[in-house]
Amino acid sequence: MSLTTLSAAELGRLLSRRDVAAREVAQAYLDAIQRKDPTLGAYLTVDPERTLAEADVAQSKIDAGDAGPLGGVPVAIKDNISTADQRTTCASKVLKGYIPPFDATVCTRLRDAGLVGLGKVNLDEFAMGTSCENSAFQLTHNPWDPDRSPGGSSGGSSAAVAGGIAPLALGSDTGGSIRMPASLCGVVGFKPTYGRVSRYGLVAFGSSLDQIGPFGRNVEDAALLAAAISGHDPRDSTSLARPPIATDALRSGRLHGIRLALPLELMSDAAEPGVLDSVRAACAKLEAEGATVEEVSTPSVRYGVTTYYLIAPSEASSNLARFDGIRYGSQVDGSGHVGTVAATRGKLFGHEVKARIMIGTYALSAGYYDAYYVRAQQVRALMAQEFETLFDRFDAVISPTSPVVAFRLGELSRDPLALKLLDTCTIPANMGGFPAISIPCGLSDGLPVGLQLMSPVMSDEKLLQLAWAAEQVLGSLDLPLG
């Protein structure tokens, strides 16, 4: 039995029965990281001593009966989530070597549930990207084909789970940054309802859009991790006063009688034929189990990318103003205070981050605020209303997660618009704060295709049940874990 090929839920059951020790599981993954990560490039920080010490603490919780269903199971953490006394760089030279003095709420909850941190994984700088090629430190490779992108911005998270060097991972999703890489790597990625998981300790990109969520090899794993990190947090003003996501009824999910809306705008020629074929085949399988799939029109979707790339950069331009080289992080000396700030930001921010800051600053500037930012917020409200109206008639919206399968590294780097258009299917969930999940639904040219399910605000439990039921019908992929 290879511990690194088991699901997180299976590991949790073995650990709870004392059939295996938490330190043994942690060491198996540390060995796998040492062996495989030089090729994958998923991890930015690994501290074996810290991981093994956390495993010993987790074992004490298991022995005392205080651990959750994932007690002793390792988890990788996206490097824009604050970890006390461990580097949190956001894959940016601005924060190279930065060590936070505090944990994000999700990290505290991981420890409380008995999970074990494996390390910090790569991302597009400050979570701004779709390919994980914008990291200041290294490229991350797709385990299905090392010449291809794992998706972004949470590419390190998806590659670690798909490649057998983490059973679980945390990512963040601002416009699809959990679901897109999950699709390209053939794993499950879940974005909960906005506010269902605390953002305290997440380095902010777009504050009205950001949401932390889980990666797993199957729906059960993702659901259990979502349950561990969710729930109200008074330190986050956007946190909903709701209990943690419940998983006790997960396996009660059924497809019979479920009504699914399939937006025609997301099944257009902009998607690869192989992706469309896989999604249509998946819909047919769900219908054979009693679900109803009806084609609908969602006209606002065509404006989603434009709207997102006004709102998110505007919020980023404000949020990233704090990275000035004065209070924390790296510093480039300049002439006086203003010169130092300008030199630090000019030389240490990457191209994509600087471009988005400038776009956001322009959209918020006098004379353009109403024409760009306010208009974008109006379209956002229209989009949210359009999907809320759909949810009056349907249980969920179904679509491709990504219009393409994993593309070759460097293939789209000179075409930033093409990269941004890859977010077309995922952006609506962030605009309305809806929960959404990507599950594998087949292969195209030997590469994974993701199926996205999106449902109303606060329907996380029902969405996970639906995804679990769909997974039973569609099956899972044989991930490249070896």
Write a three-state SS string for 388-414.
HHHHCCCCEEEEECCCCCCCECCCCCC
Round to whole Å and give the CA distance between 135 and 123: 6
Amino acid at 37: D
Residue 152 confidence (pLDDT): 97
Whether 241 shows a pLDDT value over 70: the answer reads yes
For the chain, the average pLDDT equals: 97
Which of 319, 351, 83 lies closest to 209, judged by CA? 319
Q: Which residues pair with 296 in a beta bridge?
A: 263
Of the listed 61, 78, 93, 191, which one is catalytic? 78
CA distance 266 to 440: 17
Residue 87 has pLDDT above 80, yes or no: yes
Answer for the pair 152, 130: CB distance below 8 angstroms, yes or no: yes
Residue type, 305: V
In the sheet with 447-454, reading across from the earlier edge strand, the strands are: 43-45, 116-121, 74-78, 168-173, 211-216, 188-191, 436-444, 447-454, 396-400, 259-263, 292-296
Indicate which residue of 82, 177, 239, 399 is catalytic. Answer: 177
* Percentages (nearest 5) of helix, strand, coil residues in the chain: 45, 15, 40
Range list of β-strands (E), 79-199:
116-121, 168-173, 188-191
Asked if 297 is an active-site residue, the reply is no
Is residue 153 reached through a cis peptide bond, with omega within 30 degrees of 0 on the bond before it? Answer: yes
CB 118 within 8 A of CB 75: yes
pLDDT classification of 337: cutoffs 50, 70, 90: confident
Asked: is 1-482 a CATH 2.40.50.140 domain? The reply is: no
Residue 106, classed as helix, strand or coil, is helix
Reported confidence tier of residue 1, pLDDT bands at 50, 70, 90: low
Query: Do 161 and 221 meet the contact criterion of CB atoms below 8 Å apart?
Result: no
Instruction: Give 341 or 184, the one with higher predicted confidence.
Output: 184
Q: Which of 473, 443, 477 is nearest to 278 (CA)?
A: 443
What integer pLDDT is reported at residue 326 of this predicted model? Answer: 87
What pLDDT is attached to residue 300?
95
Q: How far apart are CA 78 and CA 96, in angstroms?
A: 15
The predicted structure's pLDDT at residue 414: 82
H or E, element range at 296? strand 292-296
Cβ pair 155, 123 in contact under 8 A: yes
Distant-in-sequence, close-in-space partners of 367: CB < 8 Å, separation ≥ 6: none
Report pLDDT digits (tens) over 272-288: 999 999 999 999 999 99
- Backbone conformation region of residue 293, classed left if phi is above 0, alpha if psi is from -120 to 50, else beta: beta
Torsions phi, psi for 229 (to 5 deg): -100, -10
CA–CA dist 53, 320 (Å, integer):
34
CB 49: neighbour CB atoms within 10 A?
Answer: 7
Mean pLDDT within 163-181: 98
Kindly state the helix (H) or strand (E) to which residue 467 belongs, with its residue range. helix 460-474
- List, in sequence order, every residue forming a beta bridge with 444; answer none if it has no partner: 447
Shortest CA distance to 275 belongs to which of 391, 142, 121, 444?
A: 444
Active-site choice (153, 154, 158, 438): 153
Q: Return d(Cα 427, Cα 278) in angstroms, integer.
A: 21
